[in-house]
Amino acid sequence: MKTLKTLLTAVLALTIALLPSCMKYGPSEEEEFNVDPSGDGLFIINEGNYMYGNASLSYYDPATKHVENEVFFRANGFKLGDVAQSMTMADGIGWLVVNNSGVIFGIDPATFKEKRRLTGFTSPRYLHMLSPTKAYVTQIWDPRVFVVNPVTCETTGYVTTDMDYESGSTEMMVAYGKYIITNCWSYQNRILKIDTSTDTVVQSLVVGIQPESMAMDCNGKLWVLTDGGYEDSEYGYEAARLLRIDPDSFRIEQTFYFPDGAVASKLTVNSEGDELYWLDTGVWKMPVDAAHLPVRPFISRDGSLFYGLTVNPVNGEIYVSDAVDFVQSGVVLRYSPDGELIDTFNVGINPGNFCWR
C-alpha cells in the first residue's frame, strides 16, 4: 500500500508539472529585404490549399539563381492569406490578389513590405490598373467587376453584367485601347468587352465552355483558351479550344480544337508576342500564324505535374511550376527559349501564377 501511495503521489506531481502548455503562437519578427532593383525578378504566387490559409509569395532572382520563400510573411510579420490568385505590377507596386481572404495587398517589390490594402471584395481574382487612381478587380461567383481607387483604397463603383451571383465570374483582363476584355470562366462561356470610360459592358462573345486564359499577340489579336468544362456537367462539356479573336470587331477569326480529354490551360505569349505557350501535361508552343495545333509538346517531363507557366518578357526563358502532390512545396523549372533546363528551385504550395517585377 505504501508503494501505491508513493506511486500516486509521483503521478500527481508529474501531472501538475505537465499542466502548463508549450504554446509558441505569437508575434513574428519582420525581416528586412532590399532586392536589387536592376535586372529581372520573378515573383511566384503560391496559392496554398483552399481553406488552409497557407498561401505564400516567393521571389527568384534569375541572375543569381537565388530564391527566397514566404517573403510576404517574413517581411510583414503576418500571413498572406487563403488562396493567392494573382499579382500585377503597376506604378512600382505589386498588387497581390488573395482570393479566399477577400483582400488585395499592394507591396513594395524591393522590400516586400505592405504599402496598400484593398478590401470589401467577395472573391477577387485579378486586378488591372487603368490609371494611378482607377483599377478593375474581377471576381468569381459575383457578376460584378469592382472599380477601385488604389490610392484611397476604396471601391468607387461596379461594372455590372448580366450574370447572376451564384455563378457569375470574371477573370483575367487584357487591355485594348480604351477597352478591357475579360473572360468569364467558371460555369460561363463568354468574353466581355468593357468600355473603361463608361464602366459598362459593350459587347460579349460566346467562345466555348469556360474560357480559362487569354493573351494578346504581336498582331494585336486576342487569343482565348477554353478548358471545355468537365464531363457529365449539367452546364455542358466539350473539347478545349484555342481561338483567335479580332478585338475590334469582337469576332472569332479562327478556332483550333484540342483532342478530347486535353486539359489545356495557362495560355501566354513570348516576349515578342509571336509565339503562344500553354500547358497540357507538358508545355506547348505554337507560332501565332500556325495553321494547326502542334502535335507534340515543346517540353515534356515524365513524372511532373505542371501547374503554372510564364515566359520571361526580356529574354524568352520559360518558367514552369510543378505542384508535385498539391500538399507540399512546389518546384519551378527554368528553361532556355530552346527548351534546355537551366535551373530548378523549391517554392511554396501550389505555385499557380507568376509576376515579373
Partner 1 sequence: MKRMAAIILLLLVPVLVRAQNDDWWNSDPSYVVPIDAAAVTADRPMRDIGIQETKLDTIALRDNIALSIADVLTFNSSVFVKQYGRGSLSTIAFRGTSASHTQVSWNGMKINSPMLGMTDFSMIPSYFIDDASLLHGSSSLSMSGGGLGGAVVLATEPADYKGLGMQAVQGIGSFGTFDEFLRVTWSNDHWQTSTRAVYTSSRNDFTYRNYNKKVDGQYPIDTNRCGAIKDFHILQEVYYNTGHGDRFGMNAWYMSSTRGVPMLSVDYRGNQSYINQQGENTLRSVLSWDHERRSWKLHAKAGYNGTRQAYDFIRDKGNGQMVQMVESRSRINTIYGQTEAEFFLPGNWMLTAQLAAYQHFVQSTDRNATVRTGAVIDGNTKKVAIGYDQARFEVLSYVSAKWQPGPRLGLSASLREELYGYSFTPLIPAVYADYLLSRKGNVRLKASASRNFRFPTLNDLYFMPGGNPDLKPEKGLSYDAGVSFATAKTDSYSLEGEVTWFDSFIDDWIVWIPTFKGYWTPRNVKQVHAYGIETKAGGFYQFNKDWQLHLNGSFSWTPSINNGDPTDWADEAIGKQLVYVPLLSSSVNGSLAFRSWKLTYKWCYYSERFTTSDNDIKSKIGRVLPYFMNDIVLEKRFVTAPAEISLKLAVNNIFNEEYESVLNRPMPGRNFEFFLELRPNFRRK
32 binds partner 1 (CB under 8 A): no
Tell me which of 329, 337, 356, 357 binds partner 1, using CB under 8 A.
329
Q: Does 199 bind partner 1 (CB under 8 A)?
A: no
**Site for partner 1 contains 204 (CB under 8 A):** yes
Q: Is 34 left (phi over 0), alpha (psi -120 to 50) or beta?
A: beta
Least gap, CB of 189 to partner 1 (angstroms) = 6
For residue 199, what is its C-alpha cell?
Answer: 464602366
Residue 217 contacts partner 1 per CB under 8 A: no
Exposed/middle/buried for residue 170 (C-beta within 10 Å: 0-12, 13-18, 19+): buried
Residue 303 interacts with partner 1 (CB under 8 A): yes or no: yes
Rounded distance, CA 306 to CA 323, Å? 7
Q: Which stretch binds partner 1 (CB under 8 A): 153-161, 217-225, 287-295, 310-318?
A: 153-161
Q: How many CA atoms lie within 13 A of 324 on its CB side?
A: 16
DSSP SS3 for 71: helix
- Asked whether position 317 contacts partner 1 by CB under 8 A, the answer is no
Quick one: DSSP state of residue 30?
P
Of 129, 205, 276, 288, the one binding partner 1 by CB under 8 A:
205
Q: Please, which of residues 75-134 interact with partner 1 by CB under 8 A? A: 76-82, 98, 100-103, 114, 119-122
- 305 forms part of the interface with partner 1 (CB under 8 A): yes
| Backbone dihedral region for residue 281 (phi beyond 0: left; psi -120 to 50: alpha; all else: beta) | left
- 44, 56, 137, 256: which one binds partner 1 (CB under 8 A): 56
Distance CA 136, CA 161 (A): 14
> With binding defined as CB under 8 A, does residue 258 bind partner 1?
no
Output the smallest distance, CB 53 to partner 1, in A.
4
Residue 21 interacts with partner 1 (CB under 8 A)?
yes
